[in-house]
Structure 1
């Protein structure tokens, strides 16, 4: 290669290198521009995201404030709806207090009292009455006796009313009724408040009737059961206060005196048992009962004071249902009787007197004359008791006839 060719080659290489450098430089600038553009896009996205978040937060705060205002307004509307009396009482109180204060200031000024001092003295009278009123309400809510506060309230209000009445007589001599109105303005607000706080919290008519009935019942109880009432008083005084109610004390005293629950005595139980036994004897019947006797038994069952006793006619006679049921204890078939195992006919005949006595006991106890009952009373096998029951029923039917 000649010198010129080498020169040309070097120049070509230099140009190629310059182009490569420029391409590299351009690529770098493009990368920087792209990075800056990406940063700008990211910053813009962050800004928009923050704006959206701020906007959302402001909307949420606005909605929360709106909801709070709506809840507050709804609460106010509910209160106004449920407490119209309180609203109008407040209105009447303001309409009563303001003229009273103005009248008192005018009366004091008429007596050459400085207007500022007159205002303070008028506020003392009216404000003092209401201060004592609210102190009494607070004491009453706390469960303390409010009587002294109510007396002080009315005394202060009467003093203010006297000032206003006197001022009205002097100022409106031609119209004395105006003096009465001015005097009443100091009392009317107190009266309205007293009605609201005490007039609407007393017992209802139903409660008053119940209380009257309760007192009459207590009076009759002490009159009719003097001994038990005195014992109940002793129990109440012996035990710690509040540990026993008056009703429970009377129940306990009755049990001490009679050994029974209130309303019954041993004599009454004995009479009831005696009557039951007599009723059972009157219904000494077998399984087959005439319809008119069944109706009579039903009527007797209605008058039975003891709910635990069965309410079927023939159970009062201690016999059971008057119609035989499938699988009944009563067996009258001669063949089945001959095939039973147990005591002989002679042995069963010897047990008849004991079985009759046991049957009478079952009737007196209000129970049926059943094989199970006889088996338990006589301590014999159930099969023998079933056969013996037939003899007892037959014997009782014969006696009834």
Structure 2
């Protein structure tokens, strides 16, 4: 009996445990379903919000597009052009019925005449616009304008006559109607011509940048007339479209001034060299003397001594080129003077000792002190140096540079080769380069 009870108790406990496990599993499945439902709801909510945001952005972009389109359409130029066309259309609609009624009242066969007269005025006005677009001669445009005036004037006279003879109007009203019809007939072609004139001027004027560029071109041609004329010759000599004016102007500037730097000339180069030399001289330290020192028989100071401090060379490699190659003159380089060696100890001389007179014709003893120059050395005392003519210099330069290339023909090299001045070296350089260029052109021909 006890075993049966134990078994039933164990079965009931197992059933309770199984029910508990099943309940826990059911609760877990319910939680998962609720969680999935919440996540799905959250995704749907975020999707709806994203869709609303995209729709809002799309509406804002569409409004911005419409606003930009309205801004473009309502600019002053568009309003003027479209407004002029609207007025021209209204003018045509106001003047054409009066002409049709006038000619139809005379005879139905004259009905095409108003269309021909009014159409001739507008076609000739369009011809003026076409002539402006194609850049035709001025007489063509003025001839077309005369045809426009003739056709529009004839149509205006017809409308005036028709307006003044309208039945049932007083004299003043009839005259006002005739003047109004004539004015509206002439107003259309006049407004169209003014519109075309304004459009042509706007196309020629362009933007502010175009105005600035044209002003710059006029100023450059006025200030550099010869160079601009030479550049025009280069452009006209080259095939069409192969040489721009800017390249031609740069080449003409280099030919006229010898430098490829815009605005620089040989005169400005010389001024720059003089200014550089003056600045270097002003920055050099100098020895300041007192008032009583260095006087030669009065208050005139002696020559200022050269500062013995060594001169620091610049690291600029452009100084390796000589001034003849630069086609300009420069001051001679300053060579530092070495400090004199220590003088020997002074010799004590007894002033009481009698000095015997030196006999006439005797040679004075050689003094250890150097003699100071008392003035300019006369020409007869100078060593004579042969003077070579220009032809002799040119012959020596030709012989010395026979194996040189055109690039090696520099004024400094020629000056060292024939030992001449920088000015003559520059002349020899240009002569030899011209001869080499002439020989090259003949060989190429």
| TM-score, structure 1 normalization | 0.46
Structure having the larger proportion of residues in helix: 1
| TM-score, structure 2 normalization | 0.42
